Amino acid sequence: MARSLQLYDELARQLAWSRDTIVLYGKPVQIPRLQAWYGDNGLDYTYSGLTLTARPWLPLLAELKHMVEVKSGVRFNAVLANLYRDGNDTVGWHSDDEPELGENPVIVSLSFGGERNFNFKHKMSGEKLTIPLKSGSLLIMAGETQRCWQHCVPRTKKAKLPRISLTFRQIKS
């Protein structure tokens, strides 16, 4: 089996997946995917009324963080992991522009398991881009990506396998 699919299995088994609730327009909503948040001691991450407190690095996550740091030349102190159980699990249009990420954050994602499309939409021009993310893909978002673009992982009938993404981030204190 491909190494990235073995890693899918290890991540699916080892991470503390939960289905979190966020607040959208004042209403509690269960997010349509599973998440897990790991990072340096006790780092908090807040978005849409949800505060996640980082769990300590697992050896596997620390190893993947090191690999991503070598590839990107950037240091990270946290990772938000997403598990899309099937094609109904999604992340809606958003930018990762929370203040604790700082200006022009570098976010690197790794994909494992089933292929899903990753869509970008320019906030001003509406220009759209689709990037199919196969198992083992590494995607770097940097520069003005969060300021100028939104991204999403849309619902699909084509997804045959579940997918995990690891999104490495640098949280400023």
Ligand X SMILES: O=C(O)CCC(=O)C(=O)O
Q: Would you tell me which residues interact with ligand X (CB under 6 A)?
A: 80, 82, 91, 96, 109, 118, 151, 153, 165, 167
Strands (E) in the chain, as ranges, are 21-24, 27-30, 34-39, 44-47, 50-53, 78-84, 91-94, 107-113, 116-122, 128-133, 138-141, 149-153, 163-169
**Residue 106's binding partner, choosing from ligand X, Fe ion, none, with beta-carbon cut-off 5 to 8 A by kind?**
none
Comparison of 82 and 145: residue with beta carbon closer to ligand X = 82
Span from 2-10, 36-44, 96-104, 123-131 in contact with Fe ion (CB under 5 A) = 96-104
Q: Which of 44, 96, 98, 100 binds Fe ion (CB under 5 A)?
A: 96
Residue with the closest Cβ to ligand X?
165
- Tokens found for residue 143: 């520069």
Smallest Cα–Cα separation from 148: which of 132, 129, 165, 133? 129
- Is 115 a binding residue for Fe ion by CB under 5 A? The answer is no
57/151 with CB nearer ligand X? 151
Out of ligand X, Fe ion, none, which partner does residue 165 contact, by CB within 5 to 8 A per kind?
ligand X
75, 111, 156 from 151: Cα distances, Å = 23, 15, 16
